[in-house]
Amino acid sequence: MAADIFTLGIDVGSTTSKCLILGNGEEIISSAIIPAGTGTSGPGRALEAALSEAMLSRQDIAAVTATGYGRNSFEGADYIVSELSCHAIGAHAMFPDAKTVIDIGGQDAKAISIENGKLGSFVMNDKCAAGTGRFLDVMARVLELDVSELAEKDAMAGRVIPISSTCTVFAESEVISQLSKNVDICDLVAGIHASVAVRTASLVRRLGLTPPLAMTGGVAQNAGIVRALSKELGEEISVSPLCQLAGAYGAAIHGFNKLKGRK
C-alpha cells in the first residue's frame, strides 16, 4: 500500500545536514546529505533535496522533526528532539537488537544505551576534538589524504604505529614527527584509528558495555575505525550504509510516533 503519512527528519549537524523522509513511519522514501552544517544553506538544501527526490512538497509532510547541533535554529520544525534520542531511535530501527550505540559525529562522540527502543542513558565526549570526526579531518589533512581514503589506507596497514597524545594538537605534531621518519602512511593511519578507538571505547566502558553494538554517525563509514573499535572492545559492531542518516531517520520516526500519539 502506498504511504499516506509522510514525516521528515532533519539532522542539522555541525558540519553536515542530513534529511530523510519516511512513509507511514517505516518506508524510507528519500534522503539527502549536504556537507554543510548549522548556520549555512546546508539544512535548507538538504530539505529541498529530500523533498524533490520524493516528489513531495512541504505541505505533504505531516510532521517535521529537527535534531542535531543546529536543531533549535532550524525554522519550521514541528518537533525538536536531541540527537541522542534520535540516534537511539534510528539505530533501533536499523538494528532492533542493538543495546549500545556508538555515534561519532563531527564535533563529539557519544555512547548511548537503548532501552525499549529509545534512549536509555548516555556518555558524551564533550571536552575536545580528539576522538571525533574533526580529529580525523585534521589528521587526514596532515597526511594529504581525503577522509574518505582513510579506511582504504588502514586496510593496507602492516602494523599499527601508536599515537600516544590525547590531544588533537599534540597528536598532530606526533603524526608529523612520525612522517619525518618516513614511516608507512598506512601504518600511521591505523595508529590514528586505534587512538580514536581507545578514546571511544572508554566512553562505552563508562556507559557499560552491553552488546550487541551498533555504530551511527558519519565516522561509521570509515571501516578502519569500526575495525579498530571492534578490536578494542572485543565485540562485533554493526554498521548500516545509512549510518550517517541515523539521526534524521530517528527524527522522522519520532515525528510519526508523535502523530500517532505514541510516546
Partner 1 sequence: MADLSTMIAGLKAISPKEELKKAVSAGKKVIGIMPYFCPEELVYASGMVPLGLWGADMQANESKRYYPAFICSILHTVLEMGIKGKLNDLSGIMIPASCDSLKSMGANWQYGVKTVPVINVSIAQNRKIPAGKEYTASQFKKVRDELSKISGKEITDEAIIDAIKVYNENRKALREFSFLAGKHPEAISPADRNAVIKAGYFMDRKEHTKAVLAISAELASLPESSFRGAKVVTSGILADSPSLLKIFEDLHIAVVDDQIAHESLNFRTDVPIIESDPIMGMAERIAEIEGCSVLFDPGKKRGQELVKLAQDAGADGIIWIMTKFCDPEEYDYVPVKRMIDKAGIPLLAVEVDRQMVNYEQARNAIEAFSETLC
Which residues make Cβ contacts (< 8 Å) with residue 159, sequence separation at least 6? 187, 190
Part of the chain binding partner 1 (CB under 8 A), chosen from 82-90, 149-157, 178-186, 221-229:
82-90
Residues 6+ apart with CB under 8 A from 109: 102, 103, 124, 125, 131, 132, 199, 200, 203
What 8-state DSSP symbol labels residue 139? H
C-alpha cell, 58: 512541504
Does residue 84 interact with partner 1 by CB under 8 A?
Answer: yes
Work out whether 47 is an interface residue with partner 1 (CB under 8 A).
no
82 binds partner 1 (CB under 8 A): yes
Instruction: Please select the residue that binds partner 1; options are 69, 74, 79, 135, rule is CB under 8 A.
Output: 69
Grid cell 517505516 is found at 26
Q: Which stretch binds partner 1 (CB under 8 A): 117-125, 145-153, 160-168, 185-193?
A: 117-125
Interacting span for partner 1 (CB under 8 A) from 1-9, 118-126, 138-146, 213-221: 118-126
The span from the CA of 116 to the CA of 262, in Å, is: 13
83 belongs to the binding site for partner 1 (CB under 8 A): yes
Does residue 81 touch partner 1 according to CB under 8 A?
yes
SS3 of 190, please? helix
State the amino acid at position 5 in one-letter form: I
> How big is the site for partner 1, counted in residues (CB under 8 A)?
14
Nearer to partner 1, 14 or 24 (CB): 14
129 near partner 1, rule: CB under 8 A: no
Q: Does 79 bind partner 1 (CB under 8 A)?
A: no
Half-sphere exposure of 94 (CA within 13 A, CB side): 28
Phi, psi (rounded to 5 degrees) for 114: -105, 130
Give the residue with the Cβ less far from partner 1, 24 or 82.
82
3-state secondary structure of 202: helix
Site string for partner 1, 1-40 (x = CB under 8 A): ----------------------------------------
Does 119 sit near partner 1 (CB under 8 A)? yes
- Write down the least CB distance from residue 87 to partner 1, Å: 10
Site membership for partner 1, residue 124 (CB under 8 A) = yes
77 near partner 1, judged by CB under 8 A: no
List the one residue out of 80, 57, 53 whose CA is nearest residue 258: 80
Span from 77-85, 155-163, 164-172, 188-196 in contact with partner 1 (CB under 8 A) = 77-85
Binding mask 190-209 for partner 1 (x = CB under 8 A): --------------------
- DSSP assignment of 228-261, as one string? HHHHHHTS-EEE-TTGGGHHHHHHHHHHHHHHTT
Q: In whole angstroms, what is the distance from residue 109 CA to residue 187 CA?
A: 24
Contacting positions for partner 1 (CB under 8 A) = 69, 81-85, 108, 118-122, 124, 126
